[in-house]
Chains A and B, each alone.
Chain A
Amino acid sequence: MLPIFVIIPLGCAFLIPIVSKIREGLAQILANFGAALLLLFSVMSISWLKSGLQVYYVGGWRPPFGICMVLDGMTVLMLLVVNIIGCLTLVYSIDYIRRYTSPTLYYTLFCLLLAGLNGVVISGDLFNLFVFLEITSIASYALVAFGTEAEDLEASFKYLVLGSIASTLILLGIGMLLGSVSTLNMADISRSLSTSSSKNIILYCLALFIMGFGLKVALVPFHAWLPDAHPAAPAPMSAMLSGVVIKTIGVYALARVLFNIIGFNPTISSILTWMGIISMSVGVLLAIGQWDFKRLLAYHSISQIGYVIFGLGLGTPLGIMGGLFHLFNHSLFKSLLFLNAGAVEYSTGNRQLNKLNGLSKEMPVTSTTSLIASLSIAGIPPLCGFWSKLIIIIAAFQANNPVGAIVCIMVAMVTLASFLKVQKYAFIRRTEEVVSGVKEVPLSMVLAMVVLAILCVLVGIFAIPFLNTVIKPAAEALLNGLNYAGLILRE
């Protein structure tokens, strides 16, 4: 059953240009239908995992010779993240994308993006991971430039240059590994590396992978492209980029390589924790002075991804669980915030916070959902962001990293301040100017925002059962470390 996660979106991407020749409206129906089907299957995959780790051999060839697809706890978590946000942003797009010309191309690229993201998550082979990563990247470069305004093109070109450098570094790292162990199957590489004598090659690959995936994640020394690229895209695409893309092709791929292939050790731990601490503090400090709604959110993405990387870098079971839980929560509230920003821009044609005029009366749904998302990202109980931050902070104290824990707390406070500013200027403050013609956004956009807000609340209230069913298997998959190889190759 595993290949359907790639086949459905890839098939949709192929069929959309054809069916839209028959009728223009069919494109969005097909894309939404495909995404809904994907969401259904990814929810079902939670129960598939009960019978243990699943491996699909492409063409019946066994690893290490053939290509395989693997479903473990981490994969299930990422499939949920990709497909929940993918499905809801496509629902949002139904009304939003009418403002752009050629929606067919948008839906085609979007399905291609989903195919790439699902492929990265499900692939059990390092080169296939790279191929799907490039599919994702190319689709997102094109979608960032989708508006074809001067700024969009400029941001997309910047993203393209840095993204290509990242991909090339990753490919060089894969080449180095291939040269030293002569195999590309992740399980087989990890087994060969653990028995090989030369440790220098591992360090060299580690540096290449941290640079490459660090650029894709936008950790702080490598973050220059993100604040340009994420705001330039159409709002649903911004939500996808911040909510899903940087996590899948960045955090997931990095975690998979570091934990399951190279093997976690104290060096990696200190690199990741320090990069996490620097990202979260620099990101939030740059965010607080921003007046552009979407740009502010983009800087917050850097900061929140810092939490995820910090949690993973602690390397303790609690730290990894906190990091992964924060990854899931961040995808919910950050996409919701980007959709809110899109709704504000859709209704007023403006996203400069100081030029907005308290919209809470005119746009009650957008205002309420953005309040939930803001409280969630700032970590106010009982919303979802609170639990994951709490777990990360406790884990940091347990792992004897009080500096990190204190930085986490400070950053959470600055985040709260920053989002109070957003709420005040965008929704609460009323100026003397007369507003006319501003009204709530159309139904599909409202629907997507409300569902995301409800999810934020529900995940917060049912945090413990959610942690047990989804996050714990994912953390176990990473903690299993190099035993991952044994699980796959034995079958």
Chain B
Amino acid sequence: MLSYVLCLVLFAIGIYCLLVKKNLIKKIVGLGIMEYAINLFFILLGYRSGGEAPILSKGAVGNNFVDPLPQALILTSIVIGLGVTALMVAIAVRLYEKYRTFDINEIRRLKG
């Protein structure tokens, strides 16, 4: 149970960092923390203490398999996270070229 609580604390740290920090790079790091908290949560869902790898073979008992589904999902989710982070970093670099700063307070030409 404690691991789930810690996982949600990690999620909260990530979302705090993403919303409150003023530096674009710190925001990107915050997004990473948040995504990995969710990934960890999924892995915890499938975890069994003392479980075996879920491979059916001769002689395998197969009554304490780890759930493989969340692991397969998280593989996809990590790839998606990579795509989003790469796009975010690319946009941050282009923003730096335009504004010469990473500070979100100075990047505000849009209003209304």
Nearest-Cβ distance from residue A135 to partner chain B, whole angstroms: 8
Residues of A within 8 A of B11 (CB): 172
Contact A150 B99 (CB under 8 A): yes
Residues of B within 8 A of A175 (CB): 38, 41-42, 45, 70
Residues of B within 8 A of A153 (CB): 91, 94-95, 98
- Which among A158, A164, A228 has the greatest number of chain B C-beta atoms within 10 A? A164
Instruction: Please report which residues of chain B, range 65-89, place their CB below 8 angstroms from some CB of chain A when the two chains form the complex.
Output: 67, 69-70, 73, 76-77, 80, 83-84, 87-88
Contact B87 A131 (CB under 8 A): no
Contact A154 B95 (CB under 8 A): yes
Residues of A within 8 A of B69 (CB): 178, 182, 184
Contact A148 B80 (CB under 8 A): no
Complexed CA–CA distance, A292 and B14 (Å): 35
Stretch at the interface among A100-108, A137-145, A435-443, A472-480: A137-145
Closest to A155 in B: B110
Chain A 170-201 interface 0/1 with B at a Cβ cutoff of 8 Å (1 = within)? 01100100110010100000000000000000
Q: A150-B98, A153-B91, A157-B92 in contact; A127/B109 too (CB < 8 A)?
A: no
Residues of A within 8 A of B27 (CB): 161
Q: A160 at the A/B interface (Cβ < 8 Å)? A: yes
Nearest-Cβ distance from residue B26 to partner chain A, whole angstroms: 12
Contact B41 A172 (CB under 8 A): yes
Q: A156 at the A/B interface (Cβ < 8 Å)? A: yes
Contact B112 A157 (CB under 8 A): no
Chain B 18-30 interface 0/1 with A at a Cβ cutoff of 8 Å (1 = within)? 1100001001000
Contact B15 A165 (CB under 8 A): yes
Complexed CA–CA distance, A46 and B109 (Å): 46
Contact B109 A160 (CB under 8 A): no
Instruction: Please report which residues of chain A, range 117-169, place their CB below 8 angstroms from some CB of chain B when the two chains form the complex.
Output: 127, 131, 134, 138, 141-142, 145, 148-151, 153-158, 160-161, 164-165, 167-168
Contact pick for A227, options B35, B87, B94, B112, CB 8 Å: B112
Contact B110 A131 (CB under 8 A): no
Contact A157 B91 (CB under 8 A): yes
Residues of B within 8 A of A138 (CB): 80, 83-84, 87
Residues of B within 8 A of A145 (CB): 91, 94
Residues of A within 8 A of B94 (CB): 145, 148, 153
Contact A228 B41 (CB under 8 A): no
Complexed CA–CA distance, A476 and B33 (Å): 42
Q: A138-B83, A160-B84 in contact; A127/B73 too (CB < 8 A)?
A: yes
Complexed CA–CA distance, A210 and B24 (Å): 27
Contact B110 A154 (CB under 8 A): yes
Residues of B within 8 A of A182 (CB): 67, 69
Residues of B within 8 A of A156 (CB): 91
Contact B80 A134 (CB under 8 A): yes
Complexed CA–CA distance, A92 and B107 (Å): 32
- Which among A156, A290, A292, A295 has the greatest number of chain B C-beta atoms within 10 A? A156
Contact B18 A295 (CB under 8 A): no
Nearest-Cβ distance from residue A284 to partner chain B, whole angstroms: 15
Complexed CA–CA distance, A153 and B96 (Å): 10
Complexed CA–CA distance, A117 and B112 (Å): 30
Contact pick for B31, options A151, A164, A227, A295, CB 8 Å: A164
Residues of A within 8 A of B45 (CB): 175, 178-179
Q: Which residues of B approach A to under 8 Å, CB–CB?
A: 11, 15, 18-19, 24, 27, 31, 34-35, 38, 41-42, 45, 67, 69-70, 73, 76-77, 80, 83-84, 87-88, 91-92, 94-95, 98-99, 107-110, 112
> Can you list 20 A-B contacts with CB-CB less than 8 angstroms, sorted by A residue number?
A127-B73, A127-B76, A134-B80, A138-B83, A138-B87, A150-B99, A153-B94, A154-B95, A154-B108, A156-B91, A157-B107, A160-B88, A164-B34, A167-B84, A168-B38, A175-B38, A178-B69, A179-B45, A182-B67, A227-B112
- Other 12 A-B pairs with CB < 8 A, given A175-B42, A175-B45, A179-B45: A134-B83, A138-B80, A141-B87, A151-B110, A157-B92, A160-B84, A160-B91, A164-B31, A168-B15, A172-B41, A175-B41, A228-B110
Those 7 A-B pairs whose CB atoms lie nearest each other, nearest first? A150-B98, A134-B80, A179-B45, A228-B110, A153-B95, A153-B94, A157-B91
